[in-house]
């Protein structure tokens, strides 16, 4: 039984990651080129929270209680964008520090045109 639940969760995760727009965006933001867009992408949480608020108002005005699932999905996506923005901003700082260290080590190893090589 546990194995069946595990396999189903793998397939659901694979489907969600491949076809759901918020998951596609978050996957794109985790690339090296997308890290710089993670902080502005946190602003996408605002429309998701607005949509959750709007759906909750609809439910309070007499709509079906099944819309709570839509509201929960909107809140979940907003939290994903906020958490991803914070995490990717930290990753971007780490990557840029690493690139700066690499650039410095390469600059130290190369001979500048104005320098002379000693011992030649």
pLDDT at 114: 65
Q: How far apart are CA 88 and CA 93, in angstroms?
A: 9
CA distances from 102 to 31, 33, 89, 109 (A): 19, 18, 20, 11
Closest by CA to 49, choosing from 86, 74, 81, is 74
Domain layout of the chain by residue ranges: 2-109
Query: For 18-64, how does the pLDDT look when each residue is reduced to its tens digit (9 = 90+)?
Result: 888 888 998 888 888 888 898 899 999 999 999 999 999 999 998 89
Residue of higher predicted confidence among 51 and 119 = 51
Question: What's the chain's average pLDDT?
Answer: 88
Q: Examine the pLDDT at 81 and tell me if it is beyond 90.
A: yes
Structure tokens at 116: 């002379």
Residue of higher predicted confidence among 13 and 107 = 13
pTM score of the predicted model: 0.74
Q: Examine the pLDDT at 111 and tell me if it is beyond 90.
A: no
């Amino acid at each position: 039984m546990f194995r069946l639940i595990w396999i189903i969760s793998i397939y659901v995760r694979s489907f969600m990651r491949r076809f759901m727009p918020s998951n596609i965006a978050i996957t794109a933001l985790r690339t090296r080129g997308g890290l710089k867009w993670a902080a502005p992408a946190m602003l996408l949480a605002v429309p998701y929270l607005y949509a959750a608020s709007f759906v909750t108002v609809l439910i309070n005005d007499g709509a079906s209680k099944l819309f709570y699932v839509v509201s929960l999905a909107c809140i979940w996506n907003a939290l994903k964008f906020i958490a991803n923005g914070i995490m990717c901003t930290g990753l971007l700082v780490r990557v840029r520090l690493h690139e700066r260290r690499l650039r410095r080590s390469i600059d130290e190893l190369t001979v500048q045109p104005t320098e002379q090589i000693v011992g030649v």
